[in-house]
Amino acid sequence: MNTPAKTPFSAGAPKAKIIHVLECGDLSGCSRLVSRIANALDKNIFDVYVVYALRPGCTFEQFASLFGPQIRLIYLPLMRRHPSPCRDFGALLALRRILCAAKPDAVHLHSSKAGFLGRLAAVAAGVPRIYYSSHGYSFRMRDASLVSRAFYWLLEFMISKVGTIIVNSPNELKSAALLAWPRQAIPCSNAVHVSNFSPAYKEPSQTIEIMACGRVTCAKNPAAFIRLAETALAKNPCLRFTWIGSGDEAEREEFLRRSASLPSDRFALTGWLDSESVKQRVAQADIFVHYSLWDACPIVVTEAMALGKPVVGSRAVDQIREGENGFIVKTEVQLLEKVLLLASDAKLRTEMSRASRRIAEQDYDFGPYIQKLSSLYLGRTAAASGQQ
């Protein structure tokens, strides 16, 4: 794999220079949200840079395909997700050099590692406006030990006075409240270009398509989706389950090992797909499932709602209005119960499908979202106006 060439900083007409820092670039929700923000910012007003590292399983070409030609991409391989004092210190110094050279007007840091290192680097480089979005705080991770989670909380607490926190969901706002020092966090729920998603209301059919989407990592709880398929197919063999996405080699192999006993014509893992292919696959779904362990207003759920899909998800999923566009479930027993209910009731699916689309249009459209972020990047007061 060849390392991409460094992108030089241009000296064109004076514009507001914005740098996004992303610790784990791939084709999943956080990266696609950053790409939407970067691509949507007015290029007559902003010069946009993205500093990124790559997760295993994603190539430079795949990641770059998310961004338009005017976005300047800077690869920073030292900034990996898992802690490593020497490597993290190197990433901090490299980030500081990039920020000192670029002299941005604002930096927006995405995810915990980028948020911690990036805020330190931005202060050292004298960046005037610093924003941080956790996209799910590390101290909420259930696959980490209590000691690790306490350490992550301490790091967030120590750095929380630096910059401004932008929270993507009510759940994340509650997590931000556990940090005693931050200025008032600014709510700005993740959004999509709803008009780019044509609602695909499914006609009743014998085979009911049930889909999930995302990286097959612990946060998304793929094991629960596999168990759902096993139990549901035993009760209704006309169902079909698809997980859209993948992970690194170990994550993918574990998923395939767990699901090996399921019939191949009733259960599938697609691998990574481009955004348009994901949209086409989700459009074929009758029910969308997102039973995540922790999340922050997952983009895939908003996209599914824009396509007119009823959603069954965990309490981590803020977009679900109980009984209106789907169901919030606390246990796998409830997950099975609600999926089977929707599978057996075409009228209910239709009602919830239309409600999903309506809620996406009302609360999660990208126009107000990008207007609010643009105002923040330019240093204008936006906390009390625009999209919440």
pLDDT in tens, 335-348: 999 999 999 999 99
Helix, strand or coil, per DSSP, at residue 60:
helix
CATH code, domain carrying 270: 3.40.50.2000
pLDDT at 323 (0 to 100): 95
Among candidate residues 189, 237, 229, the one with its CA nearest the CA of residue 211: 229
Q: Are residues 175 and 49 in the same domain?
A: yes
Q: Are residues 220 and 307 in the same domain?
A: yes
In a domain, 7, yes or no: no
pLDDT at 143 (0 to 100): 62
pLDDT at 98 (0 to 100): 96
Cβ atoms of 55 and 24 closer than 8 Å: yes
In angstroms, rounded to a whole number, what is the distance separating the alpha carbons of residues 373 and 386?
10
In a domain, 221, yes or no: yes
Q: Strands 186-187 and 208-213, how do they pair?
A: unpaired
Query: Which residues partner with 167 through β-bridges?
Result: 187
pLDDT at 386 (0 to 100): 40
Q: In terms of residue numbers, what domain contains 318?
A: 194-363
Whether the full predicted model's pTM is greater than 0.85, yes or no, is no
Mind listing the pLDDT tens digit for each residue in 158-167? 888 899 999 8
In a domain, 388, yes or no: no
Q: Are residues 79 and 212 in the same domain?
A: no
Segments of the chain scoring below 70 in pLDDT: 1-13, 83, 138-145, 180-183, 296, 381-388
- CA gyration radius, the chain: 21
pLDDT at 387 (0 to 100): 44
pLDDT at 234 (0 to 100): 96
Q: Are residues 278 and 342 in the same domain?
A: yes
pLDDT at 112 (0 to 100): 83
In angstroms, rounded to a whole number, what is the distance separating the alpha carbons of residues 182 and 160?
5
Among candidate residues 316, 291, 282, the one with its CA nearest the CA of residue 211: 282
Query: Total domain count for the chain?
Result: 2
Angle between helices 366-377 and 29-40 (to 10 degrees): 70
Q: Are residues 135 and 227 in the same domain?
A: no
In a domain, 54, yes or no: yes
